[in-house]
Structure 1
Amino acid sequence: MAHILVIDDEELARFTIREIVEGYGHTIIEAVNGNQGLEKFRQNDVDLIITDIIMPEKEGIETIIELKREQPDLKVIAISGGGRTRNLDFLKLAGEMGADTILAKPFSSDELMSAVNKCLN
């Protein structure tokens, strides 16, 4: 099974993703922002990254760019609820910057696992 790094500043989002994905046998590593995510990526063997876009300290677009610069074939799923403005243009930009799949929050467990399976296969 895969080692998946989840980067999201919202504890409930990380918990929900962990509960869903671990139910399919994958291992989850968590980070609360892009800086911590990059650090954990460098310290662990990671098969897939699921990252939020709007976060404090280092946001998701910048994180995706750095991850892809270090490991171009790394699979990344970008997720976002659009922040306070509900602007989902950030997801489109994430796709242009290297995210392999994008998901708008809230998403179903089926949508999440479909994206995970697509990236891992």
Structure 2
Amino acid sequence: MHVLLIDDEQMVRKIVRKMLERSGHQVTEAENGKLGLEQLKTGGFDLVITDIIMPEMEGVETLVTVREQYPDVKVIAMSGGGRTGNIDFLGAAEKLGASAILHKPFTLGSLTTAIETTFGAQKAS
């Protein structure tokens, strides 16, 4: 599966990328929603995993745009809650069409479960 990973924190991208690659996924990275949407134009993505709190274009705006322009691409939203520690951002992401949500920090098991929930156990690996 080809995954577009969007997060403004390089270390988060590095860790999540390693998790995804260990599970056999191809990963393309973007550091914000605006760059992520540019990557999506190239096609071939099955899944977007996006942070919610980012500069340039917030994850919620990215999520809404992906749902509108790329309805076949699934989206998993992730967040550590931002500066306030408020994790209600993920609830909003679910209401706006995220297939699953992840609270940072998360484990490989949680990531795998979110992907399986999104696609079903058969396609997740």
2:105 maps to which residue? 106
Runs of 4 or more off by more than 6 Å in structure 1? none
Instruction: Please say if 1:5 is aligned against 2:4.
Output: yes
**1: distance between equivalents of 2:13 and 2:91?**
22
Q: Aligned pair count?
A: 120
Q: Which residue of 2 aligns with 1:93?
A: 92
Indicate the larger mover: 69-78 or 89-98: 69-78
Match of residue 123 from structure 2: none
Q: CA RMSD in A?
A: 0.9
Does 2:67 correspond to 1:68?
yes
In 1, Cα distance between the equivalents of 2:116 and 2:73?
Answer: 14
Residues 63-90 of structure 1, C-alpha deviations (whole Å, 9 max, x = no match): 0000000122321000000111111010
What SS class does the counterpart of residue 44 from structure 2 fall into? coil
Tell whether the 8 Å contact from 1:54 to 1:60 is kept in structure 2 after alignment: yes
Deviates more, 1:68-77 or 1:21-30: 68-77
For residue 71 of structure 1, what is the amino acid of its counterpart? Y
Q: Is the 8 A contact 1:48 1:120 kept in 2?
A: no
1:116 match: 115
Alignment-mate amino acid for residue 52 of structure 2: I
The answer to whether the 8 Å contact 1:47/1:120 transfers is no
1:33 — aligned with what? 32
CA distance in 2 between counterparts of 1:53 and 1:17 reads: 15
CA positional deviation for 1:120: 2.8
Give the alignment's TM-score, normalised by structure 1. 0.95
Instruction: Give the distance between the partners of 2:21 and 2:72, measured in 1 at CA.
Output: 23
Q: Deviations over 1:15-72 (max 9, x none)?
A: 1111011001110000000000000011131000000000000000000000000122
How does 1:43-62 map onto structure 2 within 5 Å? 43-62=42-61
Q: Report sequence identity in percent.
A: 48
Bigger fraction of residues in helix:
1
Q: CA separation in 1, counterparts of 2:116 and 2:49?
A: 12
Question: Which residue in the other structure is 1:22 paired with?
Answer: 21
